Homo-oligomer: A and B are copies of this chain.
Amino acid sequence: MLLVADNLHIINPVVQKALETLDPGPIQEITERCEAAGAGAIDINTGPLSRNPEEKMTFMVETVQSVTNLPILIDTANPKAMEAGLQANKNISIINGFSLEPQKLEKILPLAKKYKSDIIGYLLYPDSRVPNDSSERCNLAIQILQAIQDIGLDESHLIIDPIIVPLSWQNGNQQAKEILTFIHNLPDLFGFQVKTIAGLSNLTSGLISGHGNMKKKLLVERTYLPMLASAGLDMVLFNIFHNQTVEAAKACVPLISPRIFSWAEL
């Protein structure tokens, strides 16, 4: 299971300010800390970048790759920013991502073909509604796969994101179970071993801050993560500075690996 750091996110005021002023220092520092904490890939989430999208994404990608060789997930809904990031990146790129939304099908998906890049497909309806259960996710996944095939991109480039929803939603824990079922059944549905990714922090979003709640949030994260891992999840996106979640993720690997278990791996 590949651990993807979601720490370079525009909602972090440090990231926002560095991006605004094109100051590489704070971005480099966060990136280095992510790699040291165990990240196997770095997600750059700039938001939509309404002003100077190309310049800003180029700055972010160049800054990140100045300190790491890890794969970079370029995470924006802005096609101009996305293409600038893909052009600037000399590491492996993953487009994060597209859905059945017409704008994304028309403007984002073709970039995966053009740059021969992996691309994450979100299981969302064209109007961005979240599916209600495993069966709806299967239907959306087939449409996402069809879109990949229609554009002539090799299926191996597709990474499916089943869209974790907050537990605080009325059907939150039911959705958490449905996602496990979906991931478990996906290889049979597609008939090949498609890659999957999930954003773990969605699960606990909406929980009000405070020390006691942070403890609960981390407990739930590191409890749900082994469930995802044993269902077959390939990549998990989360705050890599949550040490105990990293520890849990690393402990999953030798348990679910086809290799002979060794206590030395822990």
A256-B220 in contact (CB<8A): no
Which residues of B are found within 8 Å of A219, using beta-carbon distances?
A: 247-248, 251, 266
Which residues of B are found within 8 Å of A248, using beta-carbon distances?
A: 219, 222-223
A227-B224 in contact (CB<8A): no
- Determine whether A48 belongs to the interface, using a CB cutoff of 8 Å to chain B: no
Which residues of B are found within 8 Å of A177, using beta-carbon distances?
A: 230, 255-256
Which residues of B are found within 8 Å of A263, using beta-carbon distances?
A: 167-168, 207, 213, 216
- Determine whether A209 belongs to the interface, using a CB cutoff of 8 Å to chain B: no
Q: How large is the interface on A (under 10, 10 to 19, 20 to 34, 35 or more residues)?
A: 35 or more
Contact of A229 among B168, B171, B227 (CB under 8 A): B227
Contact string, A1-12, partner B, CB cutoff 8 A, digits 1/0?
Answer: 000000000000
18 contacts between A and B (CB under 8 A): A167-B261, A167-B263, A172-B260, A172-B261, A173-B256, A173-B260, A173-B261, A174-B258, A177-B255, A184-B184, A219-B247, A220-B255, A223-B251, A223-B252, A223-B255, A226-B227, A230-B230, A230-B231
